[in-house]
Structure 1
Amino acid sequence: MNIINKVTLRHLKENKRRTLVTIVGVIISVAMIMAVSTLAVSFQDLLIRQQIANQGEWHVLFKDTNGKQAQSIKGNEAIKTLAVSKSEGYARLPDSKERPYLHVQRFDENGLKQFPVTALKGRLPAAENELILSQRALDSGGFTANVGDTVTLELGTRMRDGKVQTQSDTLVIGGDGPAETLEEITPKIYTIVGIMEHPSWEGYFAPGYTALGYVELSSLTDEEVFDSIAVFKNVNRSMLDRSLAIAKENDIKKVEHNRDLLRYYGVSGNEHVTTTLYSLAGIIMLVILVGAVSLIYNAFAISVSERSRHLGMLASVGATKRQKRNSVFFEGAVIGLISIPLGILAGLAGIGTTFLFLNSFIEGALNITQKLHLVVTPMSLAAAVLISILTIFVSTYLPARRASKIAAIDAIRQSHDIKLTGKKIKTSKLVRNIFGMEAEIGLKNLKRNRKRYRATLFSLIISIVLFLSVSFFTQNLERSADMSEANLSYDIQIYGNNKGGLEEIIPLTNVEGVTESSLLQTMYLNTRVELEKLPPLLRENAEGDSSLTEDGYLYGIELYGLERNNFISYAEEVGADTGDFLDTANVPAIVIDSTSFQDYESRKIIESKTILAKEGEKLDVYYVSDDDGTEQMLSKIEIKKMTNVLPMGAFGGGLGNLQIIVPDYVFQTLINSGTEKLVQNYAYMNSSDPMKTQDVLNEAKPSNVYIYNVHEQRQRSQQMILFMSVFTYGFIALISLISIANILNTISTSIALRKREFAMLRSVGMTPKGFNKMINYESFFYGSNALLYGLPISLVIMYLIHLSLNNTFEYQFQLPIKSILFVVLALFLIVGAAMLYSIGKIKKGNIIDGLKQENV
């Protein structure tokens, strides 16, 4: 080791406090970088494992293959494993509450492993005459069987309009189009060997409950048609082309890629999730780097100033520019060698502890079953190390260049830092008159050493900008999440089609736990509105629109028929006279006159009037005939009241749509042979225990009634916001640590370098009271100037964040007053505490020793 590096090491040992603060700052920076990179990789791993748990592990599905083609695919060097799947057909379930069929599907051994199948009783099938049934087929399908039973299933092929229907094809029975039929029915005998959980990979609208059988690839002939499901050895972009090449080689016409899984690997055509994940990680790392570079740069800049006389003396005895520059780089390397390993360990420990906490409620927040695992890849580790090295290098580059330019005479005389010309240190008389002589001395000191003052001020400004930017982003993220959730005032929704009617829904509103309910019938109709009655936003684009004719602009109407008692309560709430709605001949109605909607072109949420009509006006209402598709006049509706309040269960529409509310007895007068098919029936209810109420409803409801638990979804949304807040506020806490370490390190070191100055002031009679007054003014001057620059910069960044979020959510920019007040208070407290702590140590020192100090 050369003499320059030995001097550098000695300097680091003698300045233990500054060295320790710098090391701690770098450790925090490296820990955050490592935590963010690990978080991105771990979250990607979670998404991959969850997708496999839900839909099975497969990359490419080769449809309608035969035995020869399957063997060829299996032997390809790019294929890791190959599973086969064959549909045996559908058996009718006459007693089913939901789905009319039992679907028998056979997997080979690999298929039963790759697709999530969990046996609740018994075992998985191992022979071609064995079946494992879904528990849901027993509970809701009306199928009766126990483990060990032998059953005969009448299996057939679902056909519609001459085409074979699969599990992914929507069930069609009756309706306007051709109905599906079950054809080529063949009886088959099976032994029930197990009962399994409902398969998560079974589609929500699948027409049949799943029953799994077993098949051997070797037993399938070239005449049989089945699906070959491949897992590739290497998941990368080339596998997409490779799979198509395999299909071409084997004359396979249909190929499907598991894009839901592949996109989490970042190799599918739709890479938005991966891009978003790594973009967010990149943005967070950039913010971390700004704070880290500021902290480390100031530490090394002050170090160079402190060592300037040593460097000058080394230059006087022959040290070259390169040696002086390298001494600063060497100092950075020593700090890095200590800090980077410790930072990586600290980052892994911190994110690992966070995962343990999050895993306790992650299932509810994200509706997933997998846990977050701490995943460290060579790439994430290398990225953290390289970014940390780059951060230290950037932080030391400018101080190193400055060190190389220090001339021997200037360094020994300290003339390169200290500015003693009258013009440079001139201060206003107001400072002395208002704050006293001590304040003037403090201000002159800041002016005489501008480089040190600017380094400290820059540190404070960066801290303000970092904290306010991140806290503003977090607050707006939560606000956007709240806006994205529909403001629903009920816990449970019940839906029944027009065939069911309200008579099947009404009894469900009286089950145990229901505290409030509302019955609604809806019908979608049309009306024509004059151009002058259109709201400004709609009128601007109405010209040339095909919806505008001589009769007016075509509006869609959502007509709501509210149960009598519910309507009376609603009418009183909006200030309408209930007596106005007794005359059914005039079809009296309440019209919603404002709406909030998402504009899909600008992707913004916008508020607007729906129609510029007045109470007492009438609207001609039409419906579209099923016979010839023409508009048929239904009735005139009289506007009795206009309001922006929606009843429970009603939704606001976009421009060109009206929500009209009438009592149920008025609604019934509008139902005829042409409109009866348009009627849909709903019930909305609040419950003291929504989860328990849902269970009761599921047991009591008929098959043509559907239940949606809004409360459960609302809870998950709130948990998701909490989940995000853990990371964002944890990030704010770590940013705050960097900022505080930055301020403490910069100010305390700056004060420590002024020992001689303070000793001189004490030697000429400055009292402790005057000393404190000078320091208080300097603290105020640092804080006020930092706020003078930091707040405007922060406001600009916050407004840019607001504009970015406004691409999706349109709301007014609001200053984060609480965050700003917190920053102002915290800044003065931290600066004042740092100054007083440093001065307290200097005051304890001997005046003679202070005057002997050689550094500035």
Structure 2
Amino acid sequence: MRSYTGLTGKYVKVQKKRSLLTIFGIILSVTLLTSIGTMGMSYWDKTVRQTIRDFGNYHVSMNNIPGDAVNKIENNTTVGSAGVASREGYAIIRESKEKEKKEDPNAAPYRYLNVKGYDAKALDMLQVKLDSGRLPTKQNEIILSASSLSYFPVKPQLGESISLNLGIRKEASTGKELQISGLGDFGWGLDEAFEAQSEQQYTVVGYMKRPSTGDWSSRYIFPAITYDDHQNIDQNKKYFVYVQMKSLDHIEEKTDNMIAALQLGHAEKDTAKQLDKDNDLKDIGIEYNNELLKLYGKSTYEGVNLSLSLAIAAVIAIVMISTIAVIYNTFHISVLERISQFGMLRCIGATPAQIRKIVLQEAALLSLIGIPIGLLMGTLFMKVLFYNISLIALGFLNDMRMVISVPILIVAALLGLLSVYFSAIGPAKLAARVSPLEALKSTGKVEQVAKVKTSHVAQKLFGIIGQFASRNLKRNKKRFRITALSMIISIVLFIVFSGLVDFMRQNTQVSGAQYSYSLSYDNLAGQMDDMVYEHIAGLDAVDHAYKFYNSQVAAIIPEDKINPEYMALNGGRYVVAEDEGYRTDNNFLTSYGDNGLEALEAKLVAGKIDKDTMNQENGVIVQQRIRLFTDDGKEKILDQTEFKVGDHIRIRDMNSHGYQTVTVVGIVNQDLLSMEYNSSQVVTFITTPKVYKQITGHDDYSRIFILANPKLSNKPITDYLQSLSEKDAGFNYNDHVTEIAQAHNDAMTLSIILYGFIGVIVVIALLNIVNTVSTNLILRTKEFAVLKAIGMTQRELKKMIILEGVFYGLFAATIGTILGTVLHYGIHALFSGAVDTAWSMPWLSIGIAFVGAVVATLLATIWPLHRLNRVNIVEALRTEN
């Protein structure tokens, strides 16, 4: 050995147990960092891919671009890739039958195909969804909407050739072409004619999936997509260009400069909408795909970006501080127990700088061992979690995949190394400050044993042993703080991340309708026959069928029942004063039938449902919670009104002049068939069919919601619904089976991820507490031997150690829950800049953390007690730990 620092390796080898405990702390910390990073990256990857499927894989779309400007956009230096789409024209599938026009007075004159030409990049960016077949790759290939197939005289088969007369739609009376700006091309007029302009031959190569949500024109205008590489741009034609930018920084500024350089005139802006939804644009329409951009932290709303960045930074900071604290504890305890050794080195000539170097070298050596193992353990932990996901899902959640990111592993290793360094620097300085003479006199203890007061409460409750346990904690305050800090950190981690889980659950609502099919009847000449409902409800493949009654009603909202926060955001809704309140017309009175009330009971947040009482008192259940976006892009979830059970509201049907009073018997946040909050900013009153008739004067319904039995084939349902639409054009049904399957997929995925995440935190927190408390007890072996030497029995010693653990747990749980709750609120406040939800005390997390801390400390005493049983008193007094 050429220098004092050569002692580092020898000490690590000789003190194997102490070194292993320190390495274990490092492994726990790096495992935590790796698990959180891997889980976050995997969930981000899933969210990005899902968002791309729902909203498209582009950053900016530009509509109504003249042909001579398309190449300029594609070749712009800021553009990475661009997809181009064009309108090819309309084609008639068949003319609407006289029977259909009679049954539906508003029927379109034709069933149309709306043919659009996409190049390969547009097909990819807009995520065209196939039901069967493949995407078109040649000029003469086409894919048709699966919904349109039944209207062809002969259903086109895959691989067959069809001839389409493409043309324009005009006003029959004036001959003027109908001007439609967007890709959706919804709507028609009764005064409408079609003018064919060219005949095109296409080969059918695929069928597009039915739209997950229907619209009022989807029965008459169906999309069709052909391939067009747009190598020959028509200068007189308008195009739709979808752009992926090279860099997402300052995306609005880059887009504005691009449009300005083209000198195309006025451009209107909007956030990105899904395919087949459009806005009327005066000239150029610019849409930013903010749903995708915000996942990259590049939303066009700077406030949202800043809020998300600060919240994520705060979470990372909490994890960093926690890992530093965990490793610091082990180093600090280790240094405290070796003060006499460092004093001896000082006596034989070691300088403070050399002492610091010894401790830091020890930290570096243990890091080289612990960090790689931590990275491996974190990765394996996630492997096990995702393997279990695949087993539970049985192929249903195959879209969720584990993403092993090299940058994440590098960052976790660097953060772990920094954590170890910052953890060791304090103990290293402490060791360097040791006075050689005092260190040798203190027999291995740097703290002076202070005189402490007797705890009369502990003595009264637990006798002399309880007093011993209490005094042990008080007399060595530094050791007590170090051990308690480790437990406090674990509790804080649990409460904070449990809060994050709850926050994500609130703001990642299961998307899509929660019903399998909906059947509507749009014939103005009559209402839906009860025989139809009875037939549907009687099918074995149907679990539940709900009649849906719905009418717009006016309501007088008392001023004191309007949420002041909502009033500040959208005071324009409440401007018509009437009878000490405000009259609003955009409210709805609905009913899902008597069986719907039974199903709705599970969603009540206040009140109760009693059909007889509701019929007697004009009882209603109020749905008043909404989701809205502020002008700066901030998402808010709040109650528009503040009605309580027992309140009275005056409402009237829009066709009536007299108000009737209804009584609030319950409150729900979402309606019966959705897990989403209402985004329409309306107040909905849900009631019984009898009250509905009393308020509106009629009891007709025009829609039936169907929940299919997942264990049986849906074919009897679809066959019957299809037969209805063929017999009577007033019937229209929408298939939500795929959407509800995806919704359940998302819900299960989110639950597994969130609970897996909590599982990581719980396991690591538990191991951290066990590690720290065990280390503390093992390092006090000599102290316990002294107590046994002066007469304390093994049973009394065991009781004292257990009481110490309980006292540790109670103290740490109290401080930890307070700090955890404060940080829980702070993280929520940071996220509120992007998504605002009501904060509530995390009572469940606090309770679990409180009990868990006490239980964990008791578990932590098991191994030290077992070890103490085998310790020889003389040997323990003679040796170092």
| Same fold per superposition (TM over 0.5) | yes
Give me the whole-angstrom Cα distance separating, in 2, the residues matched to 1:593 and 1:623: 20
Give me the whole-angstrom Cα distance separating, in 2, the residues matched to 1:843 and 1:564: 70
**Alignment map for 1:96-495 (pairs within 5 Å):** 100-108=111-119, 110-111=121-122, 116=127, 128-139=139-150, 144-147=155-158, 149-158=160-169, 164-169=179-184, 171-174=186-189, 181-182=192-193, 184-198=195-209, 208-232=221-245, 234-237=246-249, 241-252=253-264, 254=284, 256=286, 259=289, 260-270=291-301, 282-358=313-389, 370-376=399-405, 378=407, 380-414=408-442, 417=445, 424-428=451-455, 435-471=462-498, 474=501, 493-495=518-520
**Alignment map for 1:660-699 (pairs within 5 Å):** 663=690, 670=697, 681-684=702-705, 688=709, 692=714, 695-696=718-719, 698-699=721-722
1:36 and 1:285 in contact (8 A); partners too: no
1:95 and 1:141 in contact (8 A); partners too: no
Q: Which residue of 2 aligns with 1:23?
A: 23
Q: 1:669 Cα shift?
A: 9.1
Give me the whole-angstrom Cα distance separating, in 1, the residues matched to 2:486 and 2:572: 57
Counterpart AA for 1:401: K
Residue 510 of structure 1 pairs with residue 509 of structure 2: no
Q: Which residue of 2 aligns with 1:769?
A: 795
| Aligned CA distance change for structure 1 residues 294 and 707 (closer, same or farther; 3 Å) | farther
2:553 and 2:587 in contact (8 A); partners too: yes
Give me the whole-angstrom Cα distance separating, in 1, the residues matched to 2:783 and 2:592: 85
Q: Deviations over 1:758-778 (max 9, x none)?
A: 333334444333433433443
What SS does the corresponding residue of 1:840 show, helix, strand or coil? helix
What SS does the corresponding residue of 1:427 show, helix, strand or coil? coil
2:329 and 2:486 in contact (8 A); partners too: yes
Q: Deviations over 1:480-528 (max 9, x none)?
A: 878x99999x87654334626423675144221356655454433446x
> Normalising by the residue count of structure 2, what TM-score does the alignment of the two structures yield?
0.76
Pick from 568, 575, 580 the counterpart of residue 612 of structure 2.
575
Give me the whole-angstrom Cα distance separating, in 1, the residues matched to 2:313 and 2:547: 50
Give me the whole-angstrom Cα distance separating, in 2, the residues matched to 1:464 and 1:639: 51
Q: Which residue of 1 aligns with 2:273?
A: none
1:102 and 1:209 in contact (8 A); partners too: yes
1:84 and 1:229 in contact (8 A); partners too: yes
Counterpart AA for 2:11: H
Q: Deviations over 1:831-850 (max 9, x none)?
A: 34433422432443343332
Give me the whole-angstrom Cα distance separating, in 2, the residues matched to 1:798 and 1:76: 46
Q: Which residue of 2 aligns with 1:584?
A: none
Give me the whole-angstrom Cα distance separating, in 2, the residues matched to 1:638 and 1:118: 49
Structural RMSD (CA)? 5.1
What SS does the corresponding residue of 2:718 show, helix, strand or coil? helix
Q: 1:404 Cα shift?
A: 1.9
Residue 537 of structure 1 pairs with residue 561 of structure 2: yes
Give me the whole-angstrom Cα distance separating, in 2, the residues matched to 1:503 and 1:433: 78
| Aligned CA distance change for structure 1 residues 38 and 280 (closer, same or farther; 3 Å) | farther
Give me the whole-angstrom Cα distance separating, in 2, the residues matched to 1:846 and 1:164: 96
Q: Which residue of 1 aligns with 2:276?
A: none
Counterpart AA for 1:575: D
Q: How many residues align?
A: 810
Counterpart AA for 1:346: M
| Aligned CA distance change for structure 1 residues 306 and 141 (closer, same or farther; 3 Å) | farther
Task: Return 43-52 or 85-94, whichever deviates more.
Answer: 43-52
| Aligned CA distance change for structure 1 residues 599 and 771 (closer, same or farther; 3 Å) | closer
Structure 2 gap ranges (5+) = 101-107, 266-283, 601-608, 631-635
What SS does the corresponding residue of 1:94 show, helix, strand or coil? strand
Q: Deviations over 1:723-774 (max 9, x none)?
A: 3332333233322333333333333333333333333333444433343343
What SS does the corresponding residue of 2:764 show, helix, strand or coil? helix
Counterpart AA for 1:682: R
| Aligned CA distance change for structure 1 residues 734 and 410 (closer, same or farther; 3 Å) | farther
Give me the whole-angstrom Cα distance separating, in 1, the residues matched to 2:648 and 2:527: 33
Q: Deviations over 1:540-586 (max 9, x none)?
A: 9899964224797535486869799999999x9533698x9xxxxxx
What SS does the corresponding residue of 2:618 show, helix, strand or coil? strand
Counterpart AA for 2:779: L
Give me the whole-angstrom Cα distance separating, in 1, the residues matched to 2:463 and 2:580: 81
Counterpart AA for 1:604: L
Q: 1:64 Cα shift?
A: 4.8
Q: Which residue of 2 aligns with 1:742?
A: 768
Task: Return 430-439 or 841-850, whichever deviates more.
Answer: 430-439
1:538 and 1:656 in contact (8 A); partners too: no
Give me the whole-angstrom Cα distance separating, in 1, the residues matched to 2:740 and 2:72: 50
Counterpart AA for 1:194: V
Give me the whole-angstrom Cα distance separating, in 1, the residues matched to 2:563 and 2:872: 82
| Aligned CA distance change for structure 1 residues 20 and 698 (closer, same or farther; 3 Å) | farther
Give me the whole-angstrom Cα distance separating, in 2, the residues matched to 1:162 and 1:315: 97
2:141 and 2:226 in contact (8 A); partners too: yes
Give me the whole-angstrom Cα distance separating, in 2, the residues matched to 1:298 and 1:375: 30
Give me the whole-angstrom Cα distance separating, in 2, the residues matched to 1:515 and 1:118: 28
Q: 1:173 Cα shift?
A: 2.7
2:339 and 2:445 in contact (8 A); partners too: no
Give me the whole-angstrom Cα distance separating, in 2, the residues matched to 1:392 and 1:567: 59
Counterpart AA for 2:24: V
Q: 1:400 Cα shift?
A: 2.0
1:555 and 1:658 in contact (8 A); partners too: no
Q: Which residue of 2 aligns with 1:608?
A: 643
Q: Which residue of 2 aligns with 1:786?
A: 812
1:498 and 1:680 in contact (8 A); partners too: no
What SS does the corresponding residue of 2:209 show, helix, strand or coil? coil
Q: 1:300 Cα shift?
A: 0.5
Give me the whole-angstrom Cα distance separating, in 1, the residues matched to 2:810 and 2:688: 58
Q: Which residue of 2 aligns with 1:629?
A: none
| Aligned CA distance change for structure 1 residues 246 and 287 (closer, same or farther; 3 Å) | closer
Residue 496 of structure 1 pairs with residue 545 of structure 2: no
Residue 523 of structure 1 pairs with residue 551 of structure 2: yes
1:417 and 1:449 in contact (8 A); partners too: no
Higher alpha-carbon Rg: 1
Q: Which residue of 1 aligns with 2:576?
A: 547
| Aligned CA distance change for structure 1 residues 303 and 282 (closer, same or farther; 3 Å) | same
Give me the whole-angstrom Cα distance separating, in 1, the residues matched to 2:314 and 2:165: 59
Q: 1:452 Cα shift?
A: 1.6
Structure 1 gap ranges (5+) = 581-588, 625-633
Q: 1:188 Cα shift?
A: 0.7
Give me the whole-angstrom Cα distance separating, in 2, the residues matched to 1:658 and 1:558: 8
Give me the whole-angstrom Cα distance separating, in 2, the residues matched to 1:144 and 1:116: 25
Q: 1:695 Cα shift?
A: 2.9
Q: 1:52 Cα shift?
A: 4.5
| Aligned CA distance change for structure 1 residues 180 and 282 (closer, same or farther; 3 Å) | farther
Q: 1:304 Cα shift?
A: 0.8
